[in-house]
Amino acid sequence: MSNQTPTNVRRRAAAISDRHSLSRRAFLRRSALAAGVAAFPTIIPGSALGLNGAVPPSERIVLGGLGIGGRGTGVLGWMLPEKDVQFVAVCDAKKSQREAIKRMVDGRYGNNDCATYRDIREFLALRTDIDALLIATGDRWHALASIMAMRAGKDVYSEKPSAMTIAEGRAVVETAKRYGRVYQTGTQRLSEDNFTFANELLRKGRLGRVHTVRAHIAPWDAAELRHDWLPAEPEPSKDEVDWDQWLGPCPWRPYNSAYARGGWRGFYDFHTSCIGEWGAHTFAQCQVAIGASETAAIDYGYVKNESGDGMETRFANGIRMILQRDGWHGSCGVKYEGTEGWVAVADGYPKPEVSSPEWLRDFSKIVNDYMARTQRPMSHVRDFFNCIKTRRQTMAHPEMMHRSMSTVHAANICMWLKRDMKYDPVKEEFVKDPEANRLRSRAMRAPWII
C-alpha cells in the first residue's frame, strides 16, 4: 500500500480549507458592515410604522378577488381606497379580466405586485396569506365560491344574488358558522343613508302600523327562464377562457362567447330571473325593515304575467310584500305603507319621498342616531372590514342573505309552477308540495360540488 496521500483525499482537504477561508472572509465582511450600520441610523419607511396616516402591515387586511367583472370592478373601486386594506391577487377564468384587474390594482398602488390565477383551487391553496375575498362572479358561482373560500379560512364579501337555490343558501349559512368566518352579501343599500332613513321611519313607528311593503323587481327579462342553450362555438385555449371553471357547478354547456360576455342572464342554468336580479336587494331591504331578516314569506300568490309583477307575498306577522316593476324613478326601490303614512326610495332619489315632508327635517339626526346606536357606517364595504377586525356579525350576514333569497326562490318557483303556494320557513320546505320541494336545490356538476 502506497505511503502517498490519495488524490481524492487531498482534494477534500483543500476544499475544507477553502470553505474555512471563505467563512473567515465572510465573517470579516459582515463585521465591517455591522460597524457601518452602527455608524448610521437605519431608515425605515414611515408606512411600515403606521406614520403619516399609513396603516402598518400587521394591521392591514390582505384582500383577494375572484371573478371581478363589471360589477365587481365597481365594488373593488370602493375597497381599494381603504387604508387598512391591501389587494394582492385576483383569480378569474378569463385572461382578459385577470389582466384588467391587475392593471387597475397595480395602477392604484404604483407597482406590479398584483398576482393572477386561473384556477380557484390553486388560488385558495397557495394564497394562505389572504384574509378575505371579494367574490363577484356570475350568479352560478357565488355560493360555491363562498363556501370554498370559507373552508380555506377566508372571510367573504359576495355579490348578490348570493345563492342560486334555497339549499345553497343554507349551505353558506352553515359553512360560515362552522368555520367562524365573517360574511357580507352585497346588498349595499342596507348601508346607505336614504334607505337607512326609510327603514328607521318604519322602525320608529312614524308610519303607524305597517301593513304593506313594495319591492322593486327588474323591469327586463322574465320570471320564466330559458332551458335551452346557445349554439357551440370553437372553444378558446384554457388560458384565454377556462370554460370548465367558468361553468363551475352548472350543467355542461358548449362554449359560446356571448355567455362569457355577460349573455348568461335569462337562462335557468345561470340566472335567478328578473325577480332575483333586483329582488336580491329589495327583498332584503324590506325584510330587514319589517323585522323579518331571519325568516321568509309564507304565502305566495301566482300572477298571470311573465314577470311576477303584482305578486303578493305575506309574512307570518301579517305584513304583505308586493313585487312591483314600475312606480319608482330609479333602480331597486322600496316603499313602506302604514296607517299613518308612507315612505319610498330608490337609487335615483336625492332624498326619500314621504307622505309627511316634515319627516325629512330629521333626516340627518335619524341617520346619525342609527349609526351611533348600531355602530354601523354608511359604507357596506367598510362595515365588512370593520367586522373582519372585530369578528362581529355583518349588516348583511349569512342568515339574512339566505332568508331573503329564500323568498326570492319561492317567488320564482311560484311563477314556474303557476300556482299559489305556502312555504314553511322553519322547516324550509313548501307545505304539501313535493314538486315545489324538488326545486329547492339543483344538481351540481362534479367536481364543482358543495
Query: What is the Rg, in whole angstroms, of the alpha carbon atoms belonging to the chain?
Result: 28
Stretch 166-194: mean pLDDT, rounded? 98
- Give the count of beta carbons closer than 10 Å to the beta carbon of residue 253: 18
For every residue of 173-236, DSSP letters joined together read HHHHHHHT--EEES-GGGGSHHHHHHHHHHHTTTT-SEEEEEEE--SSS-SS-B-S-PPP----
Q: For the ranges 14-23, 173-182, 184-193, 372-381, which has the lowest average pLDDT?
A: 14-23
Whether 237 has a pLDDT exceeding 80, the answer reads yes
Tens digits of residue pLDDT in 326-336: 999 999 999 99
Supply the pLDDT for residue 54. Answer: 74
To the nearest whole number, what is the mean pLDDT of the chain? 91
The Cα 370–Cα 191 span in angstroms is: 11
Q: Give the residue among 331, 303, 317 at the shortest CA–CA distance from 411.
A: 303
Most confident region among 4-18, 24-38, 331-345 by mean pLDDT: 331-345
Tens digits of residue pLDDT in 186-221: 999 999 999 999 999 999 999 999 999 999 999 998
Q: If you ran DSSP here, which 8-state letter would residue 108 be given?
A: H
Supply the pLDDT for residue 189. Answer: 98
The Cα 380–Cα 77 span in angstroms is: 13
Contacts for 98 with CB less than 8 Å, ≥ 6 apart: 90, 91, 92, 116, 117, 118
Helices 70-79 and 95-109: crossing angle in degrees, nearest 10, is 20
Judge whether 126 and 102 are in contact, CB under 8 Å.
no
What percent of the chain clears pLDDT 90, i.e. is strictly above it?
86
Q: Which CATH superfamily is domain 189-225+271-375+398-438 in?
A: Dihydrodipicolinate Reductase; domain 2 (3.30.360.10)
Supply the pLDDT for residue 24. Answer: 40
Supply the pLDDT for residue 17. Answer: 41
The Cα 388–Cα 153 span in angstroms is: 12
Distances (CA, A) of 419 to 293, 308, 403, 408, 415: 26, 12, 22, 16, 7
Q: Are strands 320-324 and 210-216 parallel, antiparallel or unpaired?
A: parallel
Q: For the ranges 27-41, 106-120, 307-321, which has the lowest average pLDDT?
A: 27-41
Q: In which element (H, E) is residue 132 found?
A: strand 132-135
Stretch 72-81: mean pLDDT, rounded? 98
Stretch 333-355: mean pLDDT, rounded? 97
Whether 345 has a pLDDT exceeding 70, the answer reads yes
For every residue of 373-437, DSSP letters joined together read HH---S-HHHHHHHHHHH-PPPTT-HHHHHHHHHHHHHHHHHHHHTS-EEEETTTTEETT-HHHH
Sign of the torsion formed by the C-alpha atoms of 76, 79, 83 and 86: negative
Stretch 345-365: mean pLDDT, rounded? 97
Supply the pLDDT for residue 324. Answer: 98
Q: Are strands 421-424 and 429-430 parallel, antiparallel or unpaired?
A: antiparallel
Strand partners, 422: 299
Stretch 106-122: mean pLDDT, rounded? 98
The Cα 272–Cα 268 span in angstroms is: 7
Tens digits of residue pLDDT in 22-61: 444 444 444 444 444 444 444 445 555 555 567 888 899 9
C-alpha cell at 154: 377566508
According to CATH, what is the number of the domain 52-188?
3.40.50.720
Stretch 103-114: mean pLDDT, rounded? 98
**Predicted confidence band of residue 373 (pLDDT cuts 50, 70, 90):** very high
The Cα 175–Cα 181 span in angstroms is: 8
Tens digits of residue pLDDT in 416-447: 999 999 999 999 999 999 999 999 999 999 99
Domain ranges for the chain? 52-188, 189-225+271-375+398-438
Whole-model pTM: value is 0.88
Contacts for 35 with CB less than 8 Å, ≥ 6 apart: none
Whether 6 has a pLDDT exceeding 50, the answer reads no
Q: If you ran DSSP here, which 8-state letter would residue 6 be given?
A: P
CB half-sphere exposure, 386, CA atoms < 13 A: 14
Supply the pLDDT for residue 218. Answer: 97
